[in-house]
Structure 1
Amino acid sequence: MTRCPNLPARLRPFRPRLAAGAVAVGLALALATPAGAQTASRPNQGSAPPYEADMLRLAEMLGTLHYIRPLCGTPDAGRWRDEMQGLLETEQPSEERRGLMVAAFNRGYESYRQVYHSCTPSAELVAQRYLEAGARLSRDIAARYGSN
Protein backbone atom coordinates (compact mmCIF):
# COMPACT_ATOMS: atom_id res chain seq x y z
CA MET A 1 0.00 0.00 0.00
CA THR A 2 1.28 3.43 -0.88
CA ARG A 3 1.99 5.55 2.15
CA CYS A 4 0.56 9.02 2.18
CA PRO A 5 2.33 10.77 5.04
CA ASN A 6 0.27 13.95 4.69
CA LEU A 7 -3.11 12.24 4.41
CA PRO A 8 -5.43 13.78 7.02
CA ALA A 9 -6.75 11.37 9.62
CA ARG A 10 -10.34 11.90 8.45
CA LEU A 11 -9.38 10.62 4.96
CA ARG A 12 -7.33 7.58 5.97
CA PRO A 13 -10.32 5.21 5.94
CA PHE A 14 -10.77 6.09 2.25
CA ARG A 15 -7.21 5.16 1.22
CA PRO A 16 -8.25 1.78 -0.27
CA ARG A 17 -10.96 3.52 -2.29
CA LEU A 18 -8.31 5.56 -4.10
CA ALA A 19 -6.97 2.42 -5.76
CA ALA A 20 -10.48 1.16 -6.44
CA GLY A 21 -11.40 4.52 -7.93
CA ALA A 22 -8.38 4.42 -10.20
CA VAL A 23 -9.42 1.01 -11.49
CA ALA A 24 -12.99 2.23 -11.97
CA VAL A 25 -11.79 5.21 -14.01
CA GLY A 26 -9.75 2.93 -16.26
CA LEU A 27 -12.62 0.52 -16.81
CA ALA A 28 -15.10 3.29 -17.38
CA LEU A 29 -12.81 4.96 -19.89
CA ALA A 30 -12.74 1.76 -21.89
CA LEU A 31 -16.53 1.92 -22.08
CA ALA A 32 -16.83 5.67 -22.59
CA THR A 33 -17.34 5.57 -26.36
CA PRO A 34 -20.16 3.62 -27.92
CA ALA A 35 -18.73 0.95 -30.19
CA GLY A 36 -21.80 0.99 -32.38
CA ALA A 37 -21.28 4.66 -33.24
CA GLN A 38 -17.90 4.04 -34.84
CA THR A 39 -18.64 3.51 -38.50
CA ALA A 40 -16.12 3.27 -41.27
CA SER A 41 -17.23 6.49 -42.93
CA ARG A 42 -17.71 8.64 -39.78
CA PRO A 43 -19.79 11.18 -41.71
CA ASN A 44 -20.12 13.65 -38.82
CA GLN A 45 -16.50 13.41 -37.74
CA GLY A 46 -16.12 17.20 -37.48
CA SER A 47 -19.22 17.77 -35.36
CA ALA A 48 -19.06 17.44 -31.61
CA PRO A 49 -20.99 14.59 -29.99
CA PRO A 50 -23.57 15.40 -27.30
CA TYR A 51 -21.13 14.24 -24.60
CA GLU A 52 -18.34 16.60 -25.72
CA ALA A 53 -18.39 18.78 -22.59
CA ASP A 54 -18.19 15.68 -20.39
CA MET A 55 -15.27 14.30 -22.42
CA LEU A 56 -13.39 17.59 -22.13
CA ARG A 57 -13.97 17.63 -18.37
CA LEU A 58 -12.76 14.03 -18.14
CA ALA A 59 -9.63 14.91 -20.14
CA GLU A 60 -8.95 17.81 -17.78
CA MET A 61 -9.34 15.50 -14.77
CA LEU A 62 -6.88 13.04 -16.31
CA GLY A 63 -4.37 15.85 -16.76
CA THR A 64 -4.76 16.85 -13.14
CA LEU A 65 -4.31 13.26 -11.97
CA HIS A 66 -1.25 12.94 -14.21
CA TYR A 67 0.36 15.74 -12.22
CA ILE A 68 -1.04 15.25 -8.69
CA ARG A 69 -0.79 11.48 -8.23
CA PRO A 70 2.99 11.21 -8.82
CA LEU A 71 3.52 14.38 -6.78
CA CYS A 72 1.98 12.54 -3.84
CA GLY A 73 4.14 9.46 -4.38
CA THR A 74 1.71 7.09 -6.03
CA PRO A 75 3.28 4.49 -8.31
CA ASP A 76 0.96 5.20 -11.25
CA ALA A 77 3.02 8.03 -12.78
CA GLY A 78 2.37 7.27 -16.45
CA ARG A 79 -1.06 5.78 -16.04
CA TRP A 80 -3.09 8.95 -16.52
CA ARG A 81 -1.32 9.94 -19.73
CA ASP A 82 -1.86 6.37 -20.94
CA GLU A 83 -5.56 6.65 -20.02
CA MET A 84 -5.77 9.87 -22.03
CA GLN A 85 -4.06 8.22 -24.98
CA GLY A 86 -6.50 5.32 -24.74
CA LEU A 87 -9.40 7.74 -24.64
CA LEU A 88 -8.14 9.45 -27.80
CA GLU A 89 -7.63 6.12 -29.56
CA THR A 90 -11.09 4.91 -28.58
CA GLU A 91 -12.86 8.16 -29.41
CA GLN A 92 -10.98 8.78 -32.70
CA PRO A 93 -11.86 12.49 -32.69
CA SER A 94 -11.40 14.88 -35.59
CA GLU A 95 -8.20 16.93 -35.48
CA GLU A 96 -10.13 19.86 -34.02
CA ARG A 97 -11.75 17.78 -31.27
CA ARG A 98 -8.45 16.02 -30.57
CA GLY A 99 -6.81 19.41 -30.10
CA LEU A 100 -9.55 20.43 -27.66
CA MET A 101 -9.18 17.20 -25.68
CA VAL A 102 -5.39 17.50 -25.50
CA ALA A 103 -5.70 21.16 -24.50
CA ALA A 104 -8.09 20.18 -21.69
CA PHE A 105 -5.64 17.51 -20.46
CA ASN A 106 -2.78 20.01 -20.54
CA ARG A 107 -4.88 22.66 -18.80
CA GLY A 108 -5.64 20.23 -15.96
CA TYR A 109 -1.96 19.37 -15.62
CA GLU A 110 -0.67 22.93 -15.85
CA SER A 111 -3.21 24.55 -13.56
CA TYR A 112 -2.31 22.20 -10.71
CA ARG A 113 1.41 22.35 -11.47
CA GLN A 114 1.25 26.09 -10.87
CA VAL A 115 -0.46 25.65 -7.49
CA TYR A 116 1.06 22.50 -5.96
CA HIS A 117 4.82 22.12 -5.68
CA SER A 118 4.70 19.39 -3.03
CA CYS A 119 2.16 16.89 -1.83
CA THR A 120 -0.16 18.47 0.70
CA PRO A 121 -3.38 17.26 2.31
CA SER A 122 -5.21 19.49 -0.15
CA ALA A 123 -3.42 17.88 -3.12
CA GLU A 124 -4.31 14.43 -1.83
CA LEU A 125 -7.92 15.50 -1.44
CA VAL A 126 -7.94 16.80 -5.03
CA ALA A 127 -6.60 13.44 -6.24
CA GLN A 128 -9.20 11.51 -4.26
CA ARG A 129 -12.06 13.68 -5.46
CA TYR A 130 -10.93 13.59 -9.08
CA LEU A 131 -10.62 9.80 -8.99
CA GLU A 132 -14.17 9.56 -7.71
CA ALA A 133 -15.59 12.27 -9.98
CA GLY A 134 -13.78 10.85 -13.02
CA ALA A 135 -15.14 7.38 -12.35
CA ARG A 136 -18.65 8.80 -11.94
CA LEU A 137 -18.38 10.91 -15.09
CA SER A 138 -17.07 7.95 -17.10
CA ARG A 139 -19.94 5.76 -15.92
CA ASP A 140 -22.43 8.51 -16.79
CA ILE A 141 -21.02 8.90 -20.30
CA ALA A 142 -21.10 5.14 -20.86
CA ALA A 143 -24.63 4.81 -19.45
CA ARG A 144 -26.08 7.73 -21.40
CA TYR A 145 -24.29 7.36 -24.72
CA GLY A 146 -22.94 3.79 -24.80
CA SER A 147 -24.44 1.13 -27.02
CA ASN A 148 -27.11 -1.14 -25.56
Structure 2
Amino acid sequence: MGLLIFKRVVFAAIIVLIAAFDAYAVDPPYQKDLERFATIMGALYHLDDLCVGSGNNWRDEFAELMDLEEVNDDRRARLTASFNDGYADFNRLHVRCTPNARLAIERFVVEGAAIAKNIHSRFAE
Protein backbone atom coordinates (compact mmCIF):
# COMPACT_ATOMS: atom_id res chain seq x y z
CA MET A 1 0.00 0.00 0.00
CA GLY A 2 2.84 2.41 0.84
CA LEU A 3 4.50 1.88 -2.56
CA LEU A 4 1.28 2.74 -4.40
CA ILE A 5 0.93 5.99 -2.44
CA PHE A 6 4.60 6.81 -3.10
CA LYS A 7 4.12 6.25 -6.85
CA ARG A 8 1.07 8.51 -6.87
CA VAL A 9 2.91 11.26 -4.99
CA VAL A 10 5.88 11.03 -7.36
CA PHE A 11 3.55 11.09 -10.38
CA ALA A 12 1.72 14.14 -8.98
CA ALA A 13 5.02 15.89 -8.30
CA ILE A 14 6.18 15.26 -11.86
CA ILE A 15 2.94 16.67 -13.24
CA VAL A 16 3.32 19.80 -11.08
CA LEU A 17 6.93 20.27 -12.22
CA ILE A 18 6.02 19.89 -15.87
CA ALA A 19 3.17 22.38 -15.52
CA ALA A 20 5.50 24.87 -13.81
CA PHE A 21 7.70 25.23 -16.90
CA ASP A 22 6.58 27.36 -19.81
CA ALA A 23 5.92 25.38 -22.92
CA TYR A 24 8.26 26.30 -25.75
CA ALA A 25 7.63 25.54 -29.35
CA VAL A 26 9.89 22.92 -30.82
CA ASP A 27 12.56 24.35 -33.09
CA PRO A 28 12.27 23.47 -36.75
CA PRO A 29 14.83 20.91 -37.94
CA TYR A 30 16.75 23.64 -39.78
CA GLN A 31 17.20 25.93 -36.74
CA LYS A 32 20.96 25.33 -36.44
CA ASP A 33 21.38 26.05 -40.15
CA LEU A 34 19.37 29.24 -39.76
CA GLU A 35 21.54 30.28 -36.83
CA ARG A 36 24.65 29.74 -38.95
CA PHE A 37 22.99 31.73 -41.74
CA ALA A 38 22.37 34.54 -39.24
CA THR A 39 26.04 34.51 -38.22
CA ILE A 40 27.08 34.74 -41.86
CA MET A 41 24.69 37.63 -42.52
CA GLY A 42 26.05 39.45 -39.48
CA ALA A 43 29.61 39.03 -40.74
CA LEU A 44 28.57 40.18 -44.20
CA TYR A 45 26.85 43.21 -42.69
CA HIS A 46 30.26 44.38 -41.49
CA LEU A 47 32.46 43.10 -44.31
CA ASP A 48 30.28 44.30 -47.18
CA ASP A 49 30.29 47.82 -45.78
CA LEU A 50 34.04 47.61 -45.21
CA CYS A 51 35.09 46.25 -48.61
CA VAL A 52 32.32 46.25 -51.17
CA GLY A 53 29.76 48.91 -50.38
CA SER A 54 27.12 47.02 -52.32
CA GLY A 55 24.28 48.79 -50.59
CA ASN A 56 22.86 45.50 -49.30
CA ASN A 57 21.49 46.00 -45.83
CA TRP A 58 22.12 42.55 -44.40
CA ARG A 59 20.48 43.49 -41.11
CA ASP A 60 17.22 44.55 -42.74
CA GLU A 61 17.23 41.49 -44.97
CA PHE A 62 17.71 39.19 -42.00
CA ALA A 63 14.99 40.98 -40.01
CA GLU A 64 12.67 40.46 -42.98
CA LEU A 65 13.61 36.78 -43.09
CA MET A 66 12.76 36.40 -39.40
CA ASP A 67 9.41 38.10 -39.99
CA LEU A 68 8.64 35.79 -42.91
CA GLU A 69 9.71 32.81 -40.81
CA GLU A 70 7.37 34.06 -38.04
CA VAL A 71 9.87 33.17 -35.34
CA ASN A 72 8.77 33.27 -31.71
CA ASP A 73 10.55 35.49 -29.18
CA ASP A 74 12.96 32.75 -28.09
CA ARG A 75 14.07 31.93 -31.64
CA ARG A 76 14.25 35.63 -32.54
CA ALA A 77 16.59 36.23 -29.59
CA ARG A 78 18.85 33.33 -30.56
CA LEU A 79 18.94 34.31 -34.23
CA THR A 80 19.64 37.94 -33.35
CA ALA A 81 22.45 36.82 -31.05
CA SER A 82 23.95 34.75 -33.89
CA PHE A 83 23.74 37.73 -36.26
CA ASN A 84 25.35 40.00 -33.68
CA ASP A 85 28.08 37.45 -32.96
CA GLY A 86 28.96 37.30 -36.66
CA TYR A 87 29.07 41.07 -36.85
CA ALA A 88 31.11 41.49 -33.66
CA ASP A 89 33.61 38.77 -34.54
CA PHE A 90 34.46 40.28 -37.90
CA ASN A 91 34.30 43.83 -36.61
CA ARG A 92 37.08 42.87 -34.17
CA LEU A 93 39.13 41.03 -36.80
CA HIS A 94 38.82 43.42 -39.72
CA VAL A 95 39.06 47.17 -39.28
CA ARG A 96 39.95 47.76 -42.92
CA CYS A 97 39.47 45.87 -46.13
CA THR A 98 42.20 43.30 -46.69
CA PRO A 99 42.60 40.34 -49.03
CA ASN A 100 41.52 38.10 -46.14
CA ALA A 101 38.38 40.16 -45.63
CA ARG A 102 37.54 39.86 -49.33
CA LEU A 103 38.16 36.11 -49.20
CA ALA A 104 35.85 35.86 -46.16
CA ILE A 105 33.12 37.66 -48.12
CA GLU A 106 33.46 35.24 -51.02
CA ARG A 107 33.35 32.22 -48.74
CA PHE A 108 30.40 33.51 -46.75
CA VAL A 109 28.41 34.23 -49.89
CA VAL A 110 29.01 30.67 -51.11
CA GLU A 111 28.24 29.10 -47.73
CA GLY A 112 25.16 31.27 -47.19
CA ALA A 113 23.81 30.40 -50.62
CA ALA A 114 24.34 26.70 -49.93
CA ILE A 115 22.51 26.94 -46.59
CA ALA A 116 19.61 28.86 -48.13
CA LYS A 117 19.33 26.37 -50.99
CA ASN A 118 19.47 23.41 -48.59
CA ILE A 119 16.77 24.84 -46.30
CA HIS A 120 14.56 25.73 -49.24
CA SER A 121 14.92 22.41 -51.04
CA ARG A 122 14.35 20.34 -47.90
CA PHE A 123 11.74 22.33 -45.99
CA ALA A 124 9.89 24.77 -48.26
CA GLU A 125 6.22 24.12 -48.69
| TM-score of the two chains, using structure 1 as the length reference | 0.66
1:132 pairs with one of 89, 102, 110: 110
SS in 1 for 2:77: helix
Shift of 1:79: 1.9
SS in 2 for 1:72: helix
Structure 1 moving runs of 4+ over 4 Å? none
Shift of 1:45: 6.8
Shift of 1:117: 0.5
1:71 pairs with one of 50, 60, 66: 50
Q: How does 1:4-23 map to 2 (within 5 A)?
A: none
> How many residues were matched structurally?
103
| TM-score of the two chains, using structure 2 as the length reference | 0.78
Q: How does 1:116-127 map to 2 (within 5 A)?
A: 116-127=94-105
Matched, 1:85 2:63: yes
Q: Aligned-pair RMSD on alpha carbons?
A: 1.4
Considering Cα pairs closer than 8 Å and 6+ residues apart, tell me whether 1 or 2 has the greater RCO.
1
Q: Percent identity?
A: 32
- What is the letter of the counterpart of residue 44 of structure 2? L
The structure that is helix-richer by fraction is: 2
Q: Which runs of 5+ in 2 are unaligned?
A: 1-22
1:52 pairs with one of 31, 43, 53: 31
Q: Which runs of 5+ in 1 are unaligned?
A: 1-43
**Which is higher, the Rg of structure 1 or of structure 2?**
2
Q: Does the 8 Å contact 1:46/1:96 carry over to 2?
A: no
2:41 pairs with one of 62, 75, 84: 62
